[in-house]
Every structure is written in structure tokens, then in C-alpha cells.
Amino acid sequence: MKRNKEFANRLHALSPRFAYIPKEDRFLMDPGPLKYRFNVIGAGVNGQEHIAVTMLEGRCTVHGVYDPNPSSVEAARRVKARFSDEPLVVYESLEAACLDPQVDALIICTPNHTHLEVLKVAVQSGKHILLEKPMATNIPDAYEIWQIAQNYPKVLQIGLQYRYKPIYVEAIHEAKVRRSLGEIKTITILEHREPFLDKVGQWNKFSKYSGGTLVEKCCHYFDLFNLFAESRPVSVYAVGSQAVNFKDFEYRGERSDILDNAFVIVEYENGVRANFNLCMFAPMVYEEIVICGDEGRLKASEGVNGQAYSRWANYLEVIALPDRTSRTMTPSYPAIIEETGHSGATYHEHLRFIEAMDGQPSSAATAEEGFWSVVVGVAAETSVRRGGRVMIGELLAENGLGHLA
Ligand SMILES: NC(=O)c1ccc[n+]([C@@H]2O[C@H](COP(=O)([O-])OP(=O)(O)OC[C@H]3O[C@@H](n4cnc5c(N)ncnc54)[C@H](O)[C@@H]3O)[C@@H](O)[C@H]2O)c1
């Protein structure tokens, strides 16, 4: 019955179709006692996604938010109200939101350049923390966060949740558990998508706030490279430019300076090579991974065709040597979960967060993994700016971290 109950809880309990069922008549749809209360710091598009997945998942709730922008707070209120009659608490200060004794965990979804300063206040609470990616915009701040996490007695998870998109869950399983590809030699990821959206304060149009496109957005893909390679990056070579997007965008007297296209090549200590192809002026949201090992090749893709307003089915193929089976599949989660955002990856990141809070082992991104995803992103941005290949050892030494090389 446990599995029935969990399934019903998560998918139906909050559906407006069943709102008429009185509390005392709920059995399958009773999510059980409330497990944990979260506060969300930063209630923009990502904070709202965290509120929606928390409430949909049903075992925890979002108690309150802190955000200096009143319309973000209003939007957060509306999201919680879709799922619960309990009012959303709105805090007047970051400290008040972090230190409220009614709350068990904090979810930090503020702009990238604020992560370290917000985290320093958050860790005073001793509560569990989910910190959004990229954990920082530069290597010294990312290192400081990694060090904070090492000595932190509670969970400090990083929001690198692409590993929970259905295509990557299956790709990781094929490559690492079934070992269908043999020894991995090369990895290719392509992301072709629409331009960055508007943000509160337009922080994502400026490298000094976001870390640059290859840190802000692409840390997700560099985290996947690092996961599949299972090795440390040695060098990064990248070219790119601001070819189309925001070339005439000015905000408070400053011109946007972010890349909208790039090719990045990463070489790993164990000989694995990875390359990444980014275009952010494509009329779609599409990503693809190709992994070649000495015993097989995997290709997977997902996307939304913004022109035809149709979704391409998730797709994954493993083409193996002739002595074993090859296969194709269409990995997915239930639609209600995928529709919460990022193909359901944020929902599954929350499941891992709750398990970690329960003291169970977790496959979620650690601060150490977050650090190395930022290192590759910063190296790529540096390579575009300076020209030529960036040696990771030298970059770490320039940042006072030669001992990590
Ligand atoms: N994991 C993912 O795939 C994913 C997706 C989107 C965004 N993000 C990350 O989430 C974070 C927020 O991005 P977003 O898209 O929601 O941006 P956004 O601009 O939509 O929202 C950011 C919110 O933070 C608020 N804010 C700014 N400074 C604050 C502070 N010091 N304290 C509290 N609130 C503050 C703003 O008023 C705004 O409401 C970024 O780090 C971004 O990279 C991650």
C-alpha cells in the first residue's frame, strides 16, 4: 500500500479535481504528517519553481519567502495558494528568514553574485541548505563555499539538477551502471536555445553578476562532463562571441557583455575529451548529448520546438557492438512532474534533498562538484577572453589555489 499511497499523494492529492474530498475521507490522498518546512530566499522564476515542486511533492511545505522585490513575493504567494490555504510568511530581512525556528531548511535562489553573501548568513542558522547553481561567479568564492560546506554539519546541496532530467538519468545508468559504452572516451553536448529571459535587475545580461554565460548556464553541462569523465579537467579551450543577443541592450548605463554562442573543448586527466556547442539565438530549446566509449555510443536529446509549439519526445539510443543488444527509448517522468520545469529535474532534486535531510545517502550535487563545474566555466570564459588554451593548474594558481592542481 505504501507505493500506492506515495503515487496517489504525489500525483493526485493536490489536483483541483479532488479538492472536494474532505480531509477526514482522505486515505490515498493524505500526504501524511508534514515532514519539513522550507524558506525560499529569492522568489523569482526559480524560487517559484522550488515552491511549486515542494507543494506538488506534498510531504513538505514552503513556509515563507524573503525577497526585496514585492512583485516576486506576490507571485510566490500565488504559487503557494494554488496548493494550500496556509498563508505564505513574508520576512522583512534575510536574517529573519534564515533564523525562523519553525523552518527546517533554506532554498537560496537569488542572483548568482549574491550567493556567497546570502549563504554566509544562511549557515548561521545551522539549517539544511539547497543553494542554486552556479554556486558562485568566480573561483575564489566557489572555493570558499566548498570550504564552508566541508565543515557544515547539515546538508548543503547545490542546484545542479540536470543529472535528474530523464535523458541524463538514463544516460548515467547506461554509462555508469550497465557500462553499455565500455570505457568512455569522448563526450559532446549541444545546447541550442532562445536568448536569456528578463530577470529582476537584469543580472543575467552582465558577466560580473552572472559569472558569464559559460558559468551561469553552462555549469550544468560542465557538471555532466565532470560526472561522465569521472576525472579532473586539465585544460579548456573555448571560442565564442556576442553575435546576436543584447548587442544593443543597456541597463542603468551599462552595456550587456555576455556570450551568446561558444565552442568549448575540455581535456581530462584520464584522457577523456569533451566538447560543448552553445547557440542562444535559436528559435527552440534543444539539447543533445553524444558519448562514445570503446564498446558503444549513446545519443540522447530533449527539447521544445518554439516555432511549431510542439515538444520533441525525449530520445535515447545506445548502439553497442554486435555481440550485445542495442536499443532506443523515450525516457520520461509523469507529465505533471515534467511540467513543473526542467523536465522534472527540479522535482527529483527535491526528492534527493529530502532524503539527504532524512540522513540517507544522496546522489545530488555536492559543493565540491559545484566548485569544479564553476572552474570549467570560468576557464572557458577566460579562454574566450584571452584567446588560447587555459591550463586548469595555472588558472587555479592564479586564484591562489595552486594546491588543488
Ligand atoms: N537550477 C536551474 O536550472 C536554475 C534555473 C533558473 C535559475 N537558476 C538560478 O536561480 C537563481 C535565481 O534565478 P532566477 O532565474 O530565479 O532570477 P530572477 O531574477 O527571476 O529571480 C531572482 C530573485 O531574487 C531576488 N533577490 C535579489 N537579491 C536578493 C537578495 N539579496 N535576497 C533575497 N532575494 C533577492 C530578486 O528580487 C528576484 O525576485 C540564479 O542563481 C540562477 O542561476 C537555476
Q: Ligand 1 centroid to 235 CA: how many Å? A: 30
pTM, rounded to two decimals? 0.96
Q: What is the pLDDT of residue 26?
A: 84
Residue to mutate, 121, 132, 340, ligand 1, most ligand atoms under 8 Å from C-beta: 132
Q: Could you tell me where in the chain the CATH 3.30.360.10 domains are found?
A: 162-342+354-404
Contact 21, 29 (CB under 8 A): yes
Ligand 1 site residues (CB inside 6 A) read: 41-47, 66-69, 72, 94, 109-112, 114, 118, 132-133, 159, 161, 199-200, 216, 342
pLDDT in tens, 309-336: 677 789 999 999 999 999 999 999 988 8
Contact 353, 155 (CB under 8 A): yes
Which helix H or strand E contains 286, and what residues bound it? Answer: strand 285-293
Q: What is the pLDDT of residue 27?
A: 80
Q: Ligand 1 centroid to 265 CA: how many Å? A: 29
Q: What is the pLDDT of residue 309?
A: 63
Q: What is the pLDDT of residue 8?
A: 57
From the alpha carbon of 161, which atom of ligand 1 is closest?
1
Q: For 89, left (φ over 0), alpha (ψ -120 to 50), or beta?
A: beta
Task: Look up the CATH superfamily of 2-158.
Answer: NAD(P)-binding Rossmann-like Domain (3.40.50.720)
Q: Ligand 1 centroid to 112 CA: how many Å? A: 7
Q: Could you tell me where in the chain the CATH 3.40.50.720 domains are found?
A: 2-158
From the alpha carbon of 68, which atom of ligand 1 is closest?
37
From the alpha carbon of 114, which atom of ligand 1 is closest?
31
Q: For cell 523536465, what's the residue?
A: 343
Q: What is the pLDDT of residue 19?
A: 79
Flag residues of the chain having pLDDT under 70. 1-14, 308-309
Contact 397, 250 (CB under 8 A): no
Q: What is the pLDDT of residue 7?
A: 57
Residue to mutate, 110, 131, 157, ligand 1, most ligand atoms under 8 Å from C-beta: 110
Closest C-alpha to 212, from 266, 137, 265: 137
Neighbours of 119 (CB within 10 A): 27
Query: 65 in helix, strand or coil?
Result: strand
From the alpha carbon of 216, which atom of ligand 1 is closest?
43
Q: Identify the CATH number of the domain defined by range 162-342+354-404.
A: 3.30.360.10
Helix ranges, 134-218 (H): 139-150, 166-172, 207-210, 213-216
